[in-house]
Amino acid sequence: MNRFNLKDLTLILFIVFSVWSSSFENCCAREGRQYWRQSSKAVPASVLVKKPKGYNHAGRRMLSSAIFNVLDYGAKGDGQTDDTKAFEAAWVAACKVEASTMVVPSGSVFFVLPITFSGSSCEQNIVFQLDGKIIAPTSSQPWGSGLLQWLDFTNLKGFTIKGKGIIDGQGSVWWGDSGNMPSTKPTALRFYGSDGVTVTGITIQNSQQTHLKFDNCKTIQVYDINVSSPGDSPNTDGIHLQNSQDVVIYSTTLACGDDCVSIQTGCSNVYIHNVNCGPGHGISIGSLGKDNTKACVSNVTVRDIKMQNTLTGVRIKTWQGGSGSVQGIMFSNIQVSEVETPIMIDQYYCDKSKCQNESSAVAVSGIDYVNIQGTYKVKPVHFACSDNVPCTGVSLATINLEAAQESQSSDPFCWEAYGELRTTTVPPIDCLQTGKSPIAKAQSTVDSC
């Protein structure tokens, strides 16, 4: 009996102890939580680790704070103070945030030296919001012995420059023969090695040389921009394309002293439409093949264009001695007004006083001209093709070109140009040879592109 009572007593004591322990732990836990809530209020701010306002856990700015105004980085915007370092600082900050916006605000003029906005360490989809005005230096010192570009954007992905602002190269100091500036003239705005670039809304004016250049880029969109330089400003191309693919240019006005659009080697899938060109030298493919180089251009469409007071309309120009090809080109719905030579292929291009005769040439084939109308001042059509590599597959339809008043006009000119007239033309282009070139060498010597 005693033994039984001892067991019961032991069991009862164990149960009581367990219940008491559990109650003690819960009580301590509640007191501990209450103590932490109370004590955390008393911890000095100096020992707390805080994230800077506008940054996430990774230390990068959050999208809600992704506006970077150059004025906040020290820019003065008075048109005289050097704002280059402020632009550099704003760019470095914007680069850390995907889809950030670097703002150049309206109402200010920013004096900026030659600068490179590198995207090598940047996030994607950055926007350069240009609403103010950026001006270039007009003294020789900032340019050293000569630079190839003024505002340079490189290695970007998904980049947009937009706004109602102005990029002013103040190029008149470069155009004369004063001798104060370096002989190498820079491009005002250049993109290099970039993918997915959009340029819209802005004005580029008075460039030192080319206004807007794309080199080694792909997936480009340019629209609603204005280019403005005097017609006698030398080598001030509007838009220059080189080694770039998948390009669309539209709803744009280009007035300059050289080609409104220049399409160089390595370009393919280029679509240009609804563009006003003039003054200038027209829209050109080339020049190609200089210094015996190989050049390749393919799949270019130029349509719905208005040209006035330009040197040429739609032109292909190549140097003797080159190799490669230009093929798959369509020029359509081109309205010309007092253009010197609206339609031109020149395989004897030479911008020097004298060029050596060469037997090889960049092959030109598959060129279509459709609905080109208006007035010319010198010659309606000029096809000067290579003796050894004639132009082939040239077709013309709905061509109506009349001499402008008081012009010294001449008849269409053709040399080694083969193709077909799909409709009657005004004036008659009787010089175009029908069928294929009898020169077999024309095809055998063409380097594939």
Burial of 409 (0-12, 13-18, 19+ CB in 10 A): middle
The C-alpha atoms of residue 221 and residue 199 are separated, in whole angstroms, by 6
Residue 216 gets which letter from DSSP?
Answer: S
DSSP conformation class of 61: B
Closest CA to 289 of 324, 251, 336, 341: 324
> How far is CA 335 from each of CA 262, 282, 390, rounded to the nearest angstrom?
19, 12, 28
The CA-atom distances, in angstroms, between 416 and each of 364, 383, 433 are 11, 8, 8
Q: Parallel, antiparallel, or unpaired: how do β-strands 413-415 and 109-111 relate?
A: unpaired
Q: Which of 57, 211, 273, 281 is catalytic?
A: 281
Whether the Cβ atoms of residue 268 and residue 245 lie closer than 8 Å to each other? yes
d(CA 89, CA 128): 14
Phi, psi of 210 (to 5 degrees): -60, 140
Contact 140, 173 (CB under 8 A): no
Burial class (CB in 10 A: 0-12, 13-18, 19+), 424: exposed
Q: Is 57 a catalytic residue?
A: no
Which active-site residues does the annotation give? 281
